[in-house]
Amino acid sequence: MPLSNLDLVNQCDAFPYPESDPSAYLARINTYYQLRVSGHDYALGYMLPSVAEVFRGIPHWELDDDDRTLTLNAGTTAEERSKAVELTLLAMRETGHFKVLNQWRNELYAVYGKKKELLFNVERSASPLLGVVSYGIHLTAYTRSKETGEIKIWTPRRASTKQTYGGMLDNAVAGGIASGESPFESLVRECAEEASLPEELVRSQARAAGTVTYYYIRDERAGGETNLMQPECQYIYDLELPDDTIPRPGDGEVEAFYLWSIDEVKQAMENGEFKPNCSLVVLDFLVRHGFLTDESDGDFIEIVSRLHRRLEFPTL
């Protein structure tokens, strides 16, 4: 069955909203455990009970079944907390507790507090276990015909061998922001690695276009355990490429790049061929460039608002 634009949003932004579905929302949060850090009395993420249970009795972690909280008690600095988190996760990886840790990247994601301070770093592959907010960059690369003004979008297909969403369509460039890295420097790095785009072109021509935020619940396509919570914030960029600049796979993560018309991209989204969060980035591009309007889609207002969800955990 063809997917509507709102179907694509619902697929990615899947966590219930307290305002529109309070019963579903309460059923979820009353089941999950809150992740907290000692001395900071607020949630940093939601964890499945089956995941939280594995932390029971482990040094530096306190599981409270009455309050349904898992609290990290490890020193007072981000460095001390990060070390405790790393040792715990390495031990869990060694004992094979979680399949998702088989995707270990040796990349650190930052977890922030309410004052935007760094609380600790966590291995990228483990962030969905803790349910913490993660950050990334997504670039839409496109061309514009000098004669007609027609816009076409460079659309890559992920390598079928990738552990996550293998063979699905993606945005031209996308990647996670490492701890301590700015969004723009992450963009420059990923453009070189994934699409072989010249650094000077990216630095001079890439245009920041805001953020897309959503609350994803992982399914089997993500690899590893399902139903893990994954709230995310993606920094969005546009890059109009000259006709003689063609993105090329650089690091083995992309199988091929296609230059598709807007209608071809829309059809692929309708077919469910895009990685879920990449569909949201495309929808955001279509809205900003006037290809998706209130006249073309009766769900326009909800779609636009859902592309910019206010996350309930601390963010940058």
Q: How many CB atoms lie within 10 A of CB 95?
A: 10
Cα angle 247, 249, 253; round to 5: 135
> Exposure of 35 by Cβ count < 10 A (0-12 exposed, 13-18 middle, 19+ buried)?
buried
44 and 106 inside one domain:
yes
Q: Of 102, 129, 156, which residue is a domain's last?
A: 129
CA distance 16 to 215: 9
Provide the pLDDT confidence category of residue 250 given band limits of 50, 70 and 90.
Answer: confident
Split into its structural domains, the chain has a count of: 2
Provide the pLDDT confidence category of residue 51 given band limits of 50, 70 and 90.
Answer: very high
Residue 302 forms part of a structural domain: yes
39 in helix, strand or coil? coil
> Which residues lie closer than 8 Å to 146 by C-beta, 6 or more apart?
none
Helix axes 262-270, 276-288, angle to 10 degrees: 140
- pTM score, whole prediction: 0.96
Per-residue pLDDT tens for 137-156?
999 999 999 999 999 999 99
Residue 85 forms part of a structural domain: yes
Provide the pLDDT confidence category of residue 253 given band limits of 50, 70 and 90.
Answer: confident
Residue 257 forms part of a structural domain: yes
Is the torsion defined by CA of 58, 60, 66, 69 positive or negative? negative
Provide the pLDDT confidence category of residue 80 given band limits of 50, 70 and 90.
Answer: very high
116 and 191 inside one domain:
no
Q: Which domain holds residue 275?
A: 5-14+133-306
Residue 311 forms part of a structural domain: no
CATH number at residue 185: 3.90.79.10
> Which residues lie closer than 8 Å to 10 by C-beta, 6 or more apart?
none
Residue 22 forms part of a structural domain: no
CA distance 18 to 306: 14
275 and 177 inside one domain:
yes
Cα dist from 266 to 107, 169, 175, 180, 274, whole Å = 33, 12, 23, 36, 10
Mean pLDDT for the chain overall:
96
- Given a cut of 80, whether residue 251 has pLDDT beyond it is no
Q: Are 107 and 122 in contact (CB under 8 A)?
A: no
> Exposure of 67 by Cβ count < 10 A (0-12 exposed, 13-18 middle, 19+ buried)?
exposed
Per-residue pLDDT tens for 223-245?
999 999 999 999 999 999 999 99
Question: What percent of the residues of the chain are helix, what percent strand, and what percent coil, each to the nearest 5?
Answer: 35, 30, 40
Provide the pLDDT confidence category of residue 161 given band limits of 50, 70 and 90.
Answer: confident
150 and 256 inside one domain:
yes
253 and 113 inside one domain:
no
173 and 262 inside one domain:
yes
pLDDT number for residue 270: 98
